[in-house]
Structure formats: structure tokens, C-alpha cells
Structure 1
Amino acid sequence: MLDTLTPPINTNFKSFIKDFEQTLKHLFHERNDIDQLSLRRGLPSSISNEILDKHPLSVAIPKEYGGRGLHVKECLGILASASYESLSLSLIFGINIALFLEPVAKYAKPAVKEAIFKRFIEERGMGGLMITEPDFGSDALNMQTYHKEQEHSYQIKGTKHWQGLTGMADYWLVASRKQLPSGQLDRDLSFFICDTRQEKQQIKVEEYYDNLGLYMIPYGRNELDIEVPKSFKLQPESTGIKMMLDILHRSRLQFPGMGMGFIKRMLDEAITHCKNRTIGASSLFDMDQIQFQLSRIQAAYTLCSAMCARSCTISGIENNLALAGLEANSMKAVVTDMMHESAQILLQVSGAKGYRISHIGGRGTTDSRSFQIFEGSNEMLYGQIAETMYRMMKKEKEQHLFSFLKRHPLTANAVDFFKKETDFQIDTVLPQRKLVDLGKVLARIISIGYVLDLQASGFRNDLIHQCINTVKHEIAGLVRSFEFENTIHVVFDYTDNSSWLEFTV
């Protein structure tokens, strides 16, 4: 283990985060122009090295290995400070923290993680996670990457893609399935640590993708034909599938860290622009519609603050989150929806100036969009939320939504605000489109529960009340959509007799 700590790691968190934020401000606004940097692919090594020299990833390393101690509050604080300046940078940290360092800290053997953590602190190490495959996106349980056990190692073969930090990470967590003697693949999953510096562990990048946003982060397609020592296999507490759920749910529960700084930046930029933009005799800020739009970003700020506070209490590695899908899916889907809407609003109020990739609003709109897709698309997650609640209702033989939510621990405190909207029966099997609508409602009610907890801790009441009213307005619209009878399907052969040119003189 490391005998000494470098000074930046050993300071109190308030000083540590202030120093980190000043470094980002200097690098992105004084020495360089972040708006111009955002136009190029990748982050110059001279900048990334100076950022990593401040040891931001030490927040996700245990103290006994030279880190700051893996406190969720500090992990989310780093993500928030980074996302205020650059959502790409924050996602780089999020990948390293939630998808590599925390799983290694929890599931790797002590001798293995000691060397890894030392490299992260002393040599600016970086790590990522490989699950997704070209033919099996969200269907991870059917992945075709496989491993064979040998005398002292595991041989792993397969194809992975859309891994953030493709060709850039020093380490990878690789998910695969065991190949059985029959040639079939086992149902369970295993995770292996791959050290790309080792000769037999080098991963070939077949293609770099032209990702639409998040230019700082390389994505691509990777071909695996590697051999890793047996000690590099993660040790699950029960099954590999539950370990994967624990890892992914913890990651989703820490999305609010990335959302926090980003939403605050959208709010600050929008308020400043609208205050300074004059329309006739008054500022844009004084217009009623503008007030409505900005209030939605401010409500997102409050909701995200509440999610961060909740995440700090439940998402540490000491907790097994395999069964925490309801909260993890709700938090991830709602916060990423709010991130994208906040960016859309800033772009809109900024006018033509916002429609540029070098503008924080235009860039933020593109960068935040992918957050609604990766780690489970939001439509899929909302459907899963509704299905989970629906199964619980059937088990309890309860059809009245409000009555059920009044008893559920995640919604009991918040549902009184939505009694009118949830006063209906669910007595039939719901189509998928209805499940998505219902999931959106349920996720937002769960989120308001976090807001009420934040209020009880002393958070300012005017922001709390504004947030609740904003969500009530949103849920009212969602319930109308849920109740509307809609069985419309796509007309496949639509081109016959449907050209407007044939019906005009």
C-alpha cells in the first residue's frame, strides 16, 4: 500500500474541490477557450494531464490505497464541478468512478486492486467498462463475448462497442459468458480486469465512431482476443448477473452528480442571457413565457439536488444495489430528461446564437441527448418502473393507484401532492406505450419524495414549492396522455394513394 499521500489528496474536501474548480477555470477559460476546444475530437494530453494531476479520481479510491476514501458525496461533488464546465469531462470521470474504480474496490482481490489504485494515483490511470455488443445493446444477458478457463488464466474473445474511452483507457472491466464444453454459453456473466499494458491483454480498436456529441470522449468498436490472469476475475457476492446489476444501478444512482453541475450551468447561462437581452423596452427575463421556461430549469436544479442527497445515503459500495432498480431507473431517467430539457431551453432562449456547437446551449443539447440513451434508454427504464409497480399491485391485489402509492415507502410521503392525478384504477394489462407514460408519472412522484427529504434537512422552501408545482403540472399532462385511448399503428405500405401532388389541380 502507498505510504505517503500527495498534498492535494490529503486536504479537506472543501479545499480539494476548490483547487480542482480553479484548475478547470484556468485551463478552460484563461489558458484555453473551452468553446473552441469543444469543436475538436479528444482532449489534448497537456490539458488532461494537468486535470488528472489534481487527482480527481482519488475520491473513488479507498484510503488504505492512498485515496480519499470512496465517499459518495465527494464522488458526486467531483462530477458536478466537472459538468459545470464540460459534460464530456464529467462523463469521463463518471465512467472511471462508477464503472471501474468502484467495482474494482468492491469486487477485485486486494493484491490486484493495490497495483491498480497505485497506478491511478501515480501515473494518471484511467479505466472503463465493456458490456455492450453490436448485436446485443440493452440485451446484455445474451452477449456473445465468451471466456475459457485455462491453467493460470482466462482466454476472452468477442466484440464490444460504444465503450467510452475506447483506445484511451489503461484498464477495462470486460463482461463475458463462460463457454461450456458443449460450445454453448453459460447464462451467468463474469467480469475480468484487462490491463492494456500487458502483451496478451491488448485490445484492438477496429473502428472509431463519429459520435454526434461528447467530442472529448472516443467511442468505437473493439475486438477482444486476450488472456488475463485468474486473479483478475472479479469476485461476485452471489451471481455475476447480480454483480452487474449492482454495478449498473450504482452508476445510475450517481448520474445526478453529472446532472448537477450541468443543470446549474444551463440555469446560470439562461438567467444571465435573459437578463442582458433587451426586447423593446424590457429584458427577455421579464417575459412571462421566459419565466415559465427558466422556472423549469430551476425546478430541475432542485430535483437534481435532492437526488444527489439521496444518492449519498444509498449508493456507497457497502450497499448491494442489485435489487434497487426502481430507484436507480427512476433517478437516471428523470435526471437525464431534465438535463436535456434544460439544454433545449437555454438553446431556445439564446436564439440563433445558441444553435452552434461552440455555444454551451447548442453543445449541451447534443451532449446531453446521449444520456437519455446509454445505460438503458429512458423509454425502456420507464417501462420497467411501471412493470415493477404493476407487479407489486397485482401481488397485493390492489387496483387503485393512489391507495397503492400511499403504502409504498418510496412514494408514501409525496403522493398526497398528486392525489387527484393518481385517483384511478389499473385493472387491465397495459400496452407498452401506456407503461412508459405510467413509468414517467411514478418516477417523478418518487423524485418528489427526495425533494421533501431535502426540504426537511433545511433546503430553501421557495425552491421546494416551485419544484413541486412544476412537477404537478408535468404529471397532469402525463396522466392525460396515459388516459387517452391511443392504439395507432404505423401504416406499412403508406405510399399508395398518398401523394398530395395527385390531389391538386
Structure 2
Amino acid sequence: MIRDTARLNALLDDIRAFVRDRWHPIEDQVDRAGEIPQAVVDELRRKGYFGWSIPEAYGGLGLTSEELVLCAMELSQASVALRARVGTNTGIGSEALVADGTPAQKERWLPRMARGELTGCLALTEPDAGSEATNVQTRARREGDHYVLNGVKRFITNAPLADVFTVIARTDAGTTGSAGLTAFIVERGAGLRTGEPYRKMGQSGSPVSDVHFEDCRVPAANVIGEREGEGFRTVMKVLNKQRLHLAALCTGPAMRMLELAMAHTSRREQFGQAVASFQLVQGMIADCRTEIFAARSMIVEAARARDRGEDVVLAASMCKYFASEMCGRVADRCVQMFGGSGYIADFSPIERYYRDVRLFRLYEGTSQIHQLNIAKLALREHEARAR
């Protein structure tokens, strides 16, 4: 659903200009330094990029699902650090509040998140709760008008610089699985501790670390929706929307890599002709372009379905699975089209993109988990039709 075509086109033009003129020239600097210059972060704040999916009533742009994925495809035609810096606020860092927060909770945190004054993140994954997200061991014990949290979260994007954390913890010690889980908003000053940023294969400039809760006291008023035991339902609402968002964020880098590869192969000559004129290279270009088109089409259609109020659990899982795997295939072909220059960071950004996008097939559900989920839901639909 696009509410105002002219307004959306103006936003898309602004994103393209920012990515091309401001971000691409500093990608290597961000990669080497491991951080984004503060002036660039401030510019992202002024432009409202932190509040894309936060409702207008709370200072955001209130983008629909279709508008969000279209913007995400433009923003992500850049090194992943850019979208990661704003992406948690426009996705998993704010969505639990948007979906299930009380009016008071929304008013307290969402306007500052929309302005980029606060950076949010989702603290769900643990050392023993990754693909099996319901195996959460972090405990939250009620003491009067507070909860006391103890546990460790792992692989938390933006944790080293986050101000507010959506935390899933077990409030009922006698439960297992999805039962007894509660979602909290925990502020950094409450006593949590973040670890040193990990050394990673890629995505330099996007800090990721553990989060430690050691007798961390959180007001009972910070239970999202003020409803204990609803944490799993809340996080699934977050992930179903985020999987569409992430699928779009996988598609943008593929677009960028293909453009770089086509420019390179059009310039470079071998045997007296441009490399792009060779049929085997053209085959790789054709495969990349076709798969990007397929991913984009899937994502936009699923986003439109979500805007219509339809159940997109299966569609979102298929989009994330296909787009992340597609991006990996495009990255591999583009390195091949660059030849030796694609392997050397001094000669092209393709080497960095290749490393950056590898994570897409792992986080927010590995490809294998999505395969199982897709099959389960497809068989469930089949059985329902057969009855």
C-alpha cells in the first residue's frame, strides 16, 4: 500500500542521493575504522531515517509495509553498516513497542527512537537459544514493583551502542518452550552490561556483542503491554514483519553488486573485447538480474498482502529464505565476474560485499530453519484443503 506516490518518490530519491553521494565515498573508511562518523549519524537523524516504520503519531514516518521494503531496497545498496545503524530502530528494535506497547510506553520511547536520540535493539538470542528461540534461559523474577533479570544474550546487533533493549526473559520458572516468556523494555542504565564488540567476518561498522544481565532491576511498568507471559507472541509479530524487511535488505546489496560487476565487465577488455560481451559472463549477468527480479517481486507482493491485513507468516519466511540465498549467489557470481580484482580489497568493494552478505543466511532464522518452517506451513495448508 502506497499512501502518497509523490511523497514516497521524493523519499526514494533522497535515499538514492544519500547512498550515492554521502555513503559510497566513505564505505572503505567505515570498514577500516569499524564505526560510522558521528556527522553521518547526525545526518541520518535529521533526515528521519531512524523512524521509518514508527507511527506518525510518535514522530516517525509511519511507512506501510510496501513503502518500507521499497525504501529498504534503496538504502541497502550500500555496505551493510549503513542500514544496520538505522535498521534496528526501523525494525526489531522498535516493533515490539509498536505492535504491543501501551500508549504510555509508546509515548515514552518511540518519539526519541524516531528522532534517533535512542538506539534500540532486540535481545532474544542466547548461547543455547538461537534457532530454538523458545529455549530462553534468561530469568526475570518479580520483586514488588520490579523484576530482577539474570542471564546472557548473544549475537545482539547494535548492543554496544544501544540505549534501549527489547528483552525476552522467562518469568515463570516452571515453564518450557514458548510459555512463560515475557517481553521487557530495558534501559542501559538499569544495570545491564554489554560485552566488547565481536571480531566478525564482515559487516564492520555494525557492532554486535553479548548482553549480560546480573541482578538487573527493571520496573514492572516496562513489561511490554503490561502483560506477563505474552513475550513469545510479541516477538513473533516482530519477526514476521522483520523478515519482510530483512528480505528487502538482502535484495539491495545484490542490486549494488550486479551494477558494480556490469560496470567492471563493460570497461575491462580481454582478447580485444569487453568482458561483458562474452556469453558465459552474460549468463551470470542474466542469472543475477532474474533472481533479483524474482526476490523483489516476492517481497513487494508479500508486503502488499501484509498491508491488506492478510496472514503472511509463510510468505515472509519464503521471502527471507529466497532473498538471502539469492544474495549469496549474486555475490559469488560478481566476484567471479571481477576476476582477481574481486578478491582483492584494494581493487574493488566486491570483496567486502561478499563478506558482508554471508550473514544474511544465518540471522533471523537460518536458511535451514526457514526451509523447515516453509514445509511445515505448506503441509498444514495442504492438510486443511484436503479436509
Give the Cα separation in 1 of the matches to 2:345 and 2:42. 25
Q: Structure 1 residues 183, 271: CA separation in 2 closer, same or farther (over 3 Å shift)?
A: closer
Deviation, 1:397, is 6.1
The answer to whether 1:247 aligns with 2:238 is: yes
The answer to whether 1:231 aligns with 2:221 is: yes
Q: Which residue of 2 aligns with 1:297?
A: 288
Q: Structure 1 residues 183, 273: CA separation in 2 closer, same or farther (over 3 Å shift)?
A: closer
Q: Structure 1 residues 340, 155: CA separation in 2 closer, same or farther (over 3 Å shift)?
A: same
Q: Structure 1 residues 357, 138: CA separation in 2 closer, same or farther (over 3 Å shift)?
A: farther
Give the Cα separation in 2 of the matches to 1:221 and 1:83. 25
Which TM-score applies when normalising by structure 1?
Answer: 0.69
Give the Cα separation in 2 of the matches to 1:248 and 1:124. 24
The answer to whether 1:21 aligns with 2:39 is: no
Q: Which residue of 2 aligns with 1:47?
A: 40
Report the secondary structure of 2:224's partner residue. Answer: coil
1:250-275, Cα deviation, whole Å (9 max, x unpaired): 11122232123212112211211111
The answer to whether 1:314 aligns with 2:305 is: yes
Give the Cα separation in 2 of the matches to 1:27 and 1:119. 25
Deviation, 1:143, is 1.1
Q: Which amino acid aligns with 2:325?
A: D
Equivalent residues in 2 for 1:182-331, closer than 5 Å: 187-196=179-188, 198=189, 201-225=190-214, 226-235=216-225, 239-316=230-307, 319=309, 324-331=312-319
Equivalent residues in 2 for 1:101-250, closer than 5 Å: 101-122=94-115, 124-180=117-173, 187-196=179-188, 198=189, 201-225=190-214, 226-235=216-225, 239-250=230-241
Give the Cα separation in 2 of the matches to 1:293 and 1:394. 39
1:409-457, Cα deviation, whole Å (9 max, x unpaired): xxxxxxxxxxxxxxxxxxxxxxxxxxxxxxxxxxxxxxxxxxxxxxxxx
Question: Could you tell me the percent identity over the aligned residues?
Answer: 23
Deviation, 1:87, is 2.2
Give the Cα separation in 1 of the matches to 2:67 and 2:384. 40
Q: Are the equivalent residues in 1 in contact too, given 2:257–2:330 (CA < 8 A)?
A: yes
Report the secondary structure of 2:52's partner residue. Answer: helix
Deviation, 1:26, is 3.2
The answer to whether 1:336 aligns with 2:324 is: yes
Deviation, 1:56, is 0.7
Deviation, 1:78, is 3.1
Q: CA RMSD in A?
A: 2.6
The answer to whether 1:38 aligns with 2:26 is: no
Q: Which residue of 2 aligns with 1:63?
A: 56
Equivalent residues in 2 for 1:419-430, closer than 5 Å: none
Q: Structure 1 residues 123, 244: CA separation in 2 closer, same or farther (over 3 Å shift)?
A: closer
Q: Which amino acid aligns with 1:334?
A: F
Give the Cα separation in 1 of the matches to 2:169 and 2:309. 24
Q: Which residue of 1 aligns with 2:351?
A: 362
Report the secondary structure of 2:200's partner residue. Answer: coil
Report the secondary structure of 2:39's partner residue. Answer: helix
Deviation, 1:218, is 0.8
Q: Which amino acid aligns with 2:203?
A: L
1:450-493, Cα deviation, whole Å (9 max, x unpaired): xxxxxxxxxxxxxxxxxxxxxxxxxxxxxxxxxxxxxxxxxxxx
Q: Which amino acid aligns with 2:180?
A: D
Q: Are the equivalent residues in 1 in contact too, given 2:302–2:316 (CA < 8 A)?
A: no
Report the secondary structure of 1:100's partner residue. Answer: coil
Q: Which amino acid aligns with 2:242?
A: S
Q: Structure 1 residues 109, 299: CA separation in 2 closer, same or farther (over 3 Å shift)?
A: same
Give the Cα separation in 2 of the matches to 1:292 and 1:387. 35
Deviation, 1:83, is 0.9
Q: Structure 1 residues 105, 56: CA separation in 2 closer, same or farther (over 3 Å shift)?
A: same
Q: Are the equivalent residues in 1 in contact too, given 2:88–2:119 (CA < 8 A)?
A: no
2:333 to 324, 345, 357: 345
Deviation, 1:193, is 0.7
Give the Cα separation in 1 of the matches to 2:66 and 2:383. 37
Which structure has the greater CA radius of gyration? 1
Deviation, 1:296, is 1.2
Paired residue total: 379
Q: Which residue of 2 aligns with 1:447?
A: none
Q: Which amino acid aligns with 1:255?
A: L
Which runs of 5 or more structure 2 residues have no equivalent in the other structure?
Answer: 1-5
Deviation, 1:66, is 2.0
Deviation, 1:15, is 2.4
Q: Which residue of 1 aligns with 2:364?
A: 375
Give the Cα separation in 2 of the matches to 1:311 and 1:154. 38
Q: Are the equivalent residues in 1 in contact too, given 2:128–2:135 (CA < 8 A)?
A: no
Q: Which amino acid aligns with 2:183?
A: F
Q: Are the equivalent residues in 2 in contact too, given 1:207–1:222 (CA < 8 A)?
A: no
Q: Are the equivalent residues in 2 in contact too, given 1:164–1:219 (CA < 8 A)?
A: yes
Q: Which amino acid aligns with 1:347?
A: V
Which runs of 5 or more structure 1 residues have no equivalent in the other structure?
Answer: 1-10, 399-505
Give the Cα separation in 2 of the matches to 1:392 and 1:307. 19
Report the secondary structure of 2:156's partner residue. Answer: coil
Give the Cα separation in 1 of the matches to 2:219 and 2:118. 20
Give the Cα separation in 1 of the matches to 2:114 and 2:381. 46
Deviation, 1:331, is 0.9
Q: Which amino acid aligns with 1:362?
A: E
Q: Which amino acid aligns with 1:19?
A: D
Q: Which amino acid aligns with 1:18?
A: D
